[in-house]
């Protein structure tokens, strides 16, 4: 190794979670890992399937990651022309509302990546049939890839301090969905405004699910998630029971990988 080459940053202790856990003391190192994992996965999918389907979350946590994707010279190798960009969940507000997830993803990624416009798939969340329309679009485009390939390749999730992920909130109706891929989620258990969200059946069918959880504000929630996984073990129905109060626990890919990306704040190291 050349003397100028940096040692890879050491992993730090983290709570026990299913799947792989990538925990780094420094946020930049963590985002390095996430972007190089995503890059490798994107290149593989583009080569093997001729396309790469990614679904991104909103919230504040992934913004530095999205900025890195645009700025890091290594990320220039992302095959944007073969990428389809989907949105994990959306608030039922117009695109010009500052709470719109798409507005923020458009500003950080779409406008700078060179991704073809026809490959960008916002959720038209204010429409009455927003969930059905998005599901149709997903089924049509993923279905066109053929059997075994008709799933999302990469899903980036975040987690709230109440352990929600996507717009799957504790005790909310969409947690019970076993068939539909996208659902409107509303009612008293949903933090306003009403949402449209990908459901467990779609998220769990993905090839790779990455959960990016950072900051001390998420530490306690991550501890609860770890305890819930420990109580439920591998059993899918017990995990779904735990997911009623800690929705991220319902994320258990059927035949894909789950990877957690944690910084020192969240990991409690």
Interface contacts to ligand 6PG, rule CB under 6 A:
57-61, 88-89, 101, 158-160, 164-166
Residues with Cβ within 8 Å of 255's Cβ and at least 6 positions away in sequence, in order, are none
- Of 159 and 267, CB closest to ligand 6PG: 159
| Measured distance CA(170)–CA(79) in Å, rounded | 36
Query: Closest approach of Cβ 1 to ligand 6PG, in Å?
Result: 36
| Measured distance CA(100)–CA(79) in Å, rounded | 26
Q: Report the largest interatomic distance among the alpha carbons of the chain, rounded to a whole angstrom.
A: 60
Which residue's CB comes closest to ligand 6PG? 158
Query: Closest approach of Cβ 87 to ligand 6PG, in Å?
Result: 9
- Of 51 and 61, CB closest to ligand 6PG: 61
- Of 46 and 212, CB closest to ligand 6PG: 212
Query: Closest approach of Cβ 197 to ligand 6PG, in Å?
Result: 8
* DSSP per-residue letters across 176-215: G-SS-SEEEE-STTSPSSPEEEE-HHHHTTSSEEEEEE-S
Query: Closest approach of Cβ 58 to ligand 6PG, in Å?
Result: 3
- Of 9 and 215, CB closest to ligand 6PG: 215
Provide the Cα torsion 209, 52, 120, 86; round to 10°: -20
Residues with Cβ within 8 Å of 32's Cβ and at least 6 positions away in sequence, in order, are none
- Of 36 and 60, CB closest to ligand 6PG: 60
Query: Closest approach of Cβ 104 to ligand 6PG, in Å?
Result: 9
> In 67-194, which ranges are E strands?
83-87, 89-91, 120-121, 154-157, 182-185
């Amino acid at each position: 190794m050349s003397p100028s080459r940096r040692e890879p940053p050491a992993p730090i202790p983290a709570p026990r979670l299913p799947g792989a856990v990538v925990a780094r003391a420094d946020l930049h190192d963590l985002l390095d890992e996430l972007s190089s994992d995503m890059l490798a996965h994107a290149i593989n999918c583009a080569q093997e399937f001729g396309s790469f389907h990614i679904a991104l979350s909103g919230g504040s946590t992934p913004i530095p990651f999205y900025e890195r994707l645009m700025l890091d010279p290594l990320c220039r190798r992302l095959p944007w022309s073969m990428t389809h960009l989907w949105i994990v969940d959306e608030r039922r507000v117009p695109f010009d509302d500052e709470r719109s997830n798409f507005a923020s993803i458009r500003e950080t990624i779409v406008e700078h990546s060179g991704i073809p416009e026809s490959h960008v798939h916002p959720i038209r969340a204010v429409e009455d049939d927003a969930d059905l329309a998005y599901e149709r679009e997903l089924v049509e485009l993923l279905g066109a890839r053929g059997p075994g390939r008709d799933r999302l390749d990469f899903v980036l999730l975040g987690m709230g301090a109440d352990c929600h992920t996507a717009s799957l909130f504790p005790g909310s109706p969409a947690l019970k969905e076993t068939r539909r891929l996208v659902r409107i989620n509303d009612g008293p258990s949903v933090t306003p405004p009403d949402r449209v969200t990908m459901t467990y059946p779609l998220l769990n069918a993905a090839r790779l699910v990455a959960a990016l959880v950072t900051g001390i504000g998420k530490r306690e929630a991550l501890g609860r998630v770890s305890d819930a996984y420990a109580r439920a073990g591998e059993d899918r129905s017990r995990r779904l029971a735990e997911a009623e109060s800690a929705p991220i626990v319902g994320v258990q890919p059927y035949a894909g990988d789950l990877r957690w990306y944690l910084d020192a704040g969240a990991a409690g190291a």
